Structures are given as C-alpha cells and as structure tokens.
Structure 1
Amino acid sequence: MDLPDHHGAAGAPRSFPRALFVMLLLYGGMTVLAGFLAFKQVALPIAELAVEAGIFAFLLLVVIASTVTQLYGERIANRLVWWGFLPLAVSIFLMTVVLALPPSPDMIASRPGAAEAFALVHGQFWRVVASGPVAYLVSLLLNIWIFSRLRGSGAGQNTLGLMVRGAIASALSQAIDSVIFITLAFYGEFPITNLLIGQVMAKVVLSLILVPPLIALAVRLARRLDQRPLAF
C-alpha cells in the first residue's frame, strides 16, 4: 500500500506517520555508521573467519526497509533506499574536508600519534564508503523486491509469515551484498577469502535468526507509534 494522504484542509496542520519519521532518522544514521564500522574486521570464534563490523548497522537497514515495505508499500521503501544516498554523500564530503584541514598544534602536542592514526584510518575510508553504495543499492532494493513479492495476494500477513518473508529476503540479499562489498572494498588490500566466507555466513545466519523477530517487533512498535501521527 502507498503512504496515506495525511494532508489536511487549507490552513490546517499536516500530519505525517510518526513511525515513518522515526525510521527515516534511524535509516540515515545507519547508512553513515555502516561505512565507519566496516573498517574494522571482527574475528569469529569459528574456523578463523571474520566479518566487517558494518554488518550490524547494515542489518538494521534491512529491518527498517522491510518494515517500511510492510507498512507503507514497496514504492515508499524504494524511495527510502534512494534517499539514503544523501547522508552517505554528505559524510564522504565532510570526511574529505576534515582530512584536508591541518590538525591543531594542541592535538599534536597533547595526543602524540592521534593525527596520524586518524589519517591512517579515515584516509582509507573513501574506498570502503565508495564500495558501500553499490552493494547498498543492489542488496536493499533486492531485499525490498523479494520481501514484497513473497507477500503475494495477502499471503504472509500474519507474524509468522512476516518473519519467514523477512528471513528469506534478508538472507538472499545480504549474501549478494557481501560478495559485492568485500570484493570492491578490500580486494588487493589483503587476502579476502576468510573475510568473504565469514561475511556471507554471518549475514545469512543473522538474517535467519536476528532479522525476522526484529522486523516483527519493528512493525508492532511502528503501528503503535502511528496511532498518533506527527502534526506539522
């Protein structure tokens, strides 16, 4: 379904779904945070595999996109994904400016090595962030498409059906996301086989275990929030 028309009469306050407003804020923050977290590879306690830490923020993007699809329709969810590029672009621009500005003498004197460490980490940030939008766009649009299609003509409307749809859509889309992102972001920097395998395994497992209940919870909370739309 499409977003309800919350426009009032001429001169009357306009309303907006409260839950959608909250999810828009969270979504924008997670698109930026996922890129920063992705720089760190987290070791898994099995088979010496690893994952980039950005998956934790990215899985929240999946939850939000699926929730928006469920409550407001595929068209609104696709718009959310496309507009998610805006905070990502702003963050890249600001990081470029900050890296170009010289550190203050006080920082150099009081925190030896801090300026170099900042430049070392965030100077390579561009490749991670530049790789993110490609994987981000493909995987999230695919997630929305699969999640919406599995709904069919009324199927999967109950909580169990919602969770099954969320698990399938998330697992498939995140496996593809992992291949795209890890290859573009880290190929040539170091051997990526363990990271790639770990990333796919982690995202699929988390998609099957964590994402479904989070989607069900998010939909329930969103419906409660929408009982009182925001007035502008």
Structure 2
Amino acid sequence: MSQDTKLTAPSAPRGLFLFLLIYGGMTVLAGVVAFKQVQLWPSNLAVEAGIFPFLILVVVSSTITQLYGKDLANRLVWFGFVPLALSAALIFLVLGLPPSPEMTEFRGDDLAAFERVLGQTPRILMAGPFAYITSLLLNIWIFSKLAGSGEGNTIGLMVRGAIASALSQAVDSVIFITLAFYGEFDITDLLIGQVIAKVTLSFVLVPFLITGGVALAKWLDSK
C-alpha cells in the first residue's frame, strides 16, 4: 500500500450517525444525574432524574429499530456498555487522584460535594447496566412485535412507541430503584413515583419524540 493510499471507512446514514452520538452521551449522563431525586409536584412522590436521559435512550432505540432494523438496535444496546465502562473507570480514576492543595484549602466544600456525588455513583453504575440492558432490549422486542400492516402509519408508530416504552420503563424502574437505593431509605414513594412518571411520559411525550426522531432521521438521510 502506497503512502498516498487511504482506507475508506464505510459511511453511515446521517440520521443514524446523529442518534449514535446522542445514545452514547445519554448512557453516561443517566448514571450521573440519577443521584438526584426530583419531587413530582404537587404530590410527595419522587423520581430519580436519570429518567430523563433514559427516556431519550428509549426514543433513540425505537427510532433506530423503526428505520434501521431490530438487529442494529439490539447491537447498539450492547455497545452502550462501552461508554458506561469508560465513564465508570474515569470516575474511579478521578476520585482516586489527590486534589490540588489550592482546591483543598480554598474550595473544600466544592471538593466534598464532588466526591459525595460521584462517590455514590458506583452502586448506581452497578444497578444501571442491569436495568439498562433488560429494559431497552425489552423495549426493542415489544416495539418490533407490535409492528404490523400499519408499521409505516404515524398513529401506529406512536401507539407502538408508547406501549413499548411504558412496559419496559415500568420494569426498568423496579430493577434500578431496588438495586440502587434499597436499604439506604424507604424507596416506596420513589418507586411508585418513578413508575407513574415513566408510564405517563411514555404515553404523553415518547410517541411524539419517536415520530419526531423518525422524521428528523429521514430528513438527514435524504441530504
């Protein structure tokens, strides 16, 4: 091979490329923001904030299933462990490195808050993969099984997305909340709030996000 010869990488559709980038970012972000519980006003029920990036993962996986196939979506779920593993390794590395003298002396509160939040993530990062792999594969399976003669119909797409998301997210809530927080506090309100919030958002928000994602990917692919 001459020095001027360059290897040509296979090109991916633009829509797929964009959603792959979003997917990798959301897998990392979900485990970090899950540390915070958000109150569901006006009730006393709460949800862990990781539901927001995780719902985006559901939307992306359903969109990819619709446009590029179930097999590719399933492979994406498994490859999602790569950014999860890298982020966990970097978190442990950063926590293990000594802080600078200036930060210890002048920003002790910031250092303590940083270590408190990220120091809690190992259990969350352990719980996350179990819930992640189960719920997303379940979402893809249900979404694909519900496909029929109306697969290309917008209403049918929205209904499939809502049902698949609601069922898979209910399962995700039970697995994640139990593994991540059981024994630290009473998880009843958090678990109930999580299931209610995810099922509600699955019917109210997810269908429109999926149809929007499909339309965006088709538009990008046509360019």
Q: Which TM bucket (shorter chain)? A: over 0.9
- How many residue pairs match? The answer is 217
Compute the RMSD of aligned alpha carbons: 1.2
- Following the alignment from structure 2 to structure 1, what is the Cα–Cα distance between the partners of residues 48 and 10? 42
Separation in structure 2 between the aligned mates of residue 173 and residue 157 of structure 1, nearest angstrom: 22
The answer for the alignment partner of 2:211 in structure 1 is 216
Give the letter aligned to residue 202 of structure 2: S
Query: What's 1:3 paired with?
Result: none
* CA–CA separation in structure 1 for the residues paired with 2:70 and 2:120: 35
* Structure 1 residue 12 displacement after superposition: 7.1
Higher mean C-alpha deviation, range 109-118 or range 168-177: 109-118
**Counterparts of residues 113-128 of structure 1 (less than 5 Å):** 113-128=109-124
Letter paired with 1:101: L
For residues 22-76 of structure 1, the C-alpha deviation after alignment (integer angstroms, 9 at most, x for no partner) is 1000000000000001000001113300000000000000000000000001000
The answer to whether structure 1 residue 88 and structure 2 residue 91 are counterparts is no
User: How far off its partner does 1:112 sit?
Assistant: 2.6
Counterpart code for 1:121: V
Once the two structures are superposed, the pairs formed by residues 60-139 of structure 1 within 5 Å of their partners are: 60-139=56-135
Give the distance between the partners of 2:46 and 2:173, measured in 1 at CA.
Answer: 12
1:45 paired residue number: 41
**Equivalent residue of 2:222, what SS?**
coil
Cα deviation for residue 106 of structure 1 reads 1.1
Offset, 1:115: 1.5
Displaced runs of 4 or more, over 4 A? none
Decide which moves more: 196-205 or 113-122.
113-122
Query: 1:25, 1:161 → 2: CA distance?
Result: 27
What is the aligned partner in structure 2 of residue 187 from structure 1?
A: 182
Aligned equivalents of 1:194 and 1:43: distance in 2?
A: 10
Runs of 5+ in structure 2 lacking a partner?
A: 1-6
Q: Which structure shows the higher helix fraction?
A: 2
| Distance in 1 between residues matched to 2:9 and 2:142, nearest whole Å | 37
Equivalent residue for 1:178? 173
- Letter of the structure 2 residue corresponding to residue 28 of structure 1: G
Q: How far apart, in 2, do the equivalents of 1:90 and 1:12 lie?
A: 27
Contact 1:99 1:123 in 2 (8 A): yes
Q: 1:20 aligns with which of 16, 22, 27?
A: 16
CA contact (8 A) 1:108 1:114 kept: no
The residue that corresponds to 1:5 in the other structure is none
TM-fit CA distance, 1:227: 1.1
With the length of structure 1 as denominator, give the TM-score of the two structures: 0.91
Give % identity: 65
Q: Distance in 2 between matches of 1:183 and 1:40?
A: 16
